[in-house]
Amino acid sequence: MTDDATRTLGKGSAPPGPVPEGLIRLYSMRFCPYAHRTRLVLQAKGIRHEVININLRNKPEWYFTKHPFGHIPVLENSKGQLIYESVIACEYLDDAYPGRKLYPYDCYERARQKMLLELFYKILGYQNTIFFGGDCISMIDYLFWPWFERLDVYGIADCVNHTPALRLWIAAMKQDPTVCALLIDKNIFLGFLNLYFQNNPDAFDYGLSC
Amino acid sequence: MRFCPFAKRTLLVLKAKGIGHEVININLKNKPEWFFKKNPFGLVPVLENSQGQVIYESAITCEYLDEAYPGKKLLPDDPYEKACQKMVFELFSKVPPLLLSFLRRQNKEDCSGVKEELHKEFSKLEEVLTNKKTTFFGGSSLSMIDYLIWPWFEWLITLELNEYVDHTPNLKLWMEAMMKDPAVSSLFIDPKAFRGFLDLYLQNNLEACDYGL
């Protein structure tokens, strides 16, 4: 059980108190990929933290004092300083906390990592049409799809609010007959993954009746 | 390219830090094939050093220069203050496409929608200055974030659109303070050249980038 396995706070909830000294607080949601970035960095650097999960469909009124639009992730430290935007939060943690540095020391290598991230955003932002190649599904959509189908198993849900074009693309892809015909059953996929991570050789045959 | 606001960011940092450099201007309407080997996206600015290392994306080039070269640090050392500058940068991010869209429409369709959006974005920046109670976006002295957002405000001045900051007095004061900065004033665009360039650029004229030479 991860340390963020707590119920979300929603409308009408009492605002949390100040962050205790020696701790940093993360406002998060268990399935959000952006917040996931920050949780990865907190974990990798062994930073003592607490997590408050926010109900993104029913946000607490007090949460808008942490972020003007109620986005996650947001970091709050014991000085009451707030840091938001996942990439900025991750860099802040790397700068502010000792131990293993996640960004390289060399400034050119650091720049390279940041350029790679831009490449990632360009893929997400490359769409000005429903599909990556235009108004109809084409090769590039099929080439991307397998990764997104697997992510979808975990539920992207409200997190693609940042990337509505991507959410639309996923919905459009699911209507494609080819994609539909080959869609992995969610439970079977989860069952496979479960056995796979236990190095169970039967993983590959999971879900087969024969 | 002499009139590119993104490249202007890098030029400002080079000037502010006194970094010796050479400039190769690229015709953005007719890019040389070899340029795509420097940046697969074919955009300026791009930095190339003597080790053949290439850095692109304007904000990344600026941060690289601040880290790689000695002298006055433009980004704060304090992690929170540095994060604040990056959060302001995000706040500013809607301005460049809005301003460009405004310039494209100016003589044609009704651009009141774009005007209103610009007002909204400028008000967000005004709020930052009001809350910080400082002249500049990073504190009492000029720093990275000021240079990163400056080129678009320079456009407002060269195109005589100063009235757009009439409702944001702190922003107006910030602009006046910026104009006194040696790097800003030495790199200030000639208004006539900029207008000439803009006219040709909006018509997709191949000669636009060399206007005035």
pLDDT tens-place string over residues B72-120: 999 999 999 999 999 999 999 999 999 998 888 765 667 778 888 999 9
Determine whether the interchain pair B60/A118 forms a contact, defined as Cβ–Cβ distance below 8 Å.
Answer: yes
Task: Return the minimum-mean-pLDDT range out of A94-103, A189-198, B60-69.
Answer: A189-198
| Contacts within 8 Å (CB) and 24+ apart, A44-47 | A44/A100, A44/A102, A45/A93, A45/A94, A45/A97, A45/A99, A45/A100, A45/A102, A46/A99, A47/A93, A47/A97
Nearest CA-CA partner of B88 in B98, B102, B99, B75: B75
The greatest distance separating any two alpha carbons of chain B, rounded to the nearest whole angstrom, comes to 50
Check: CB of residue B80 under 8 Å from CB of residue A96: yes
Average pLDDT over residues B4-23: 98
Is the CB of residue A103 less than 8 Å away from at least one CB of chain B?
no
| Contacts within 8 Å (CB) and 24+ apart, A189-196 | A189/A150, A189/A153, A190/A153
pLDDT for position B75: 98
Which comes out higher in pLDDT, residue A100 or B87? B87
pLDDT for position A156: 55
Measured between beta carbons, the chain A residues lying within 8 angstroms of B41 are 122
- B41/chain A closest Cα distance in angstroms: 10
Check: CB of residue B71 under 8 Å from CB of residue B18: yes
Which comes out higher in pLDDT, residue B88 or A197? B88
| Chain B residue closest in CA terms to A113 | B60
pLDDT digits (tens, 9 = 90+) for B25-72: 999 999 999 999 999 889 999 999 999 999 999 999 999 999 999 989
Task: Return the minimum-mean-pLDDT range out of A118-122, B52-56, B57-61, B148-152.
Answer: A118-122
* Angle in degrees, CA B156, B157, B161, rounded to 5: 50
Could you confirm whether A210 is annotated as catalytic? no
Which comes out higher in pLDDT, residue A57 or B2? B2
Q: Residue A54 pLDDT > 50, yes or no?
A: yes
Percent pLDDT > 90 in chain B is 87
| pTM listed for this prediction | 0.83
Q: Residue A210 pLDDT > 70, yes or no?
A: no
Measured between beta carbons, the chain B residues lying within 8 angstroms of A115 are 55-57, 60
Burial of A1 (0-12, 13-18, 19+ CB in 10 A): exposed
Determine whether the interchain pair B64/A118 forms a contact, defined as Cβ–Cβ distance below 8 Å.
Answer: no
Q: Residue A68 pLDDT > 70, yes or no?
A: yes
Spatial separation of the C-alpha atoms in residues B71 and B73, rounded to whole Å: 6
Percent pLDDT > 70 in chain A is 90
Determine whether the interchain pair A83/B63 forms a contact, defined as Cβ–Cβ distance below 8 Å.
Answer: no
pLDDT for position A2: 56
Judging by DSSP bridges, how do beta strands A24-28 and A74-76 pair with one another? antiparallel
Spatial separation of the C-alpha atoms in residues B194 and B209, rounded to whole Å: 10
Determine whether the interchain pair A118/B57 forms a contact, defined as Cβ–Cβ distance below 8 Å.
Answer: yes
Measured between beta carbons, the chain B residues lying within 8 angstroms of A81 are 80
pLDDT for position A130: 80
Check: CB of residue A84 under 8 Å from CB of residue B89: no
DSSP conformational letter for A69? T
pLDDT for position A121: 76
Which CA distances in Å does B80 have to B65, B84, B85, B90, B172? 21, 6, 9, 15, 26
Task: Return the minimum-mean-pLDDT range out of A5-9, A129-133, A176-180.
Answer: A129-133
pLDDT for position A1: 42
- Joined tokens for residue B124: 């967000």
- Those residues with Cβ within 8 angstroms of residue B156's Cβ, 6 or more apart along the chain or in another chain: B162, B164, B165, B175
* ipTM, two decimals: 0.91
Determine whether the interchain pair A85/B90 forms a contact, defined as Cβ–Cβ distance below 8 Å.
Answer: yes
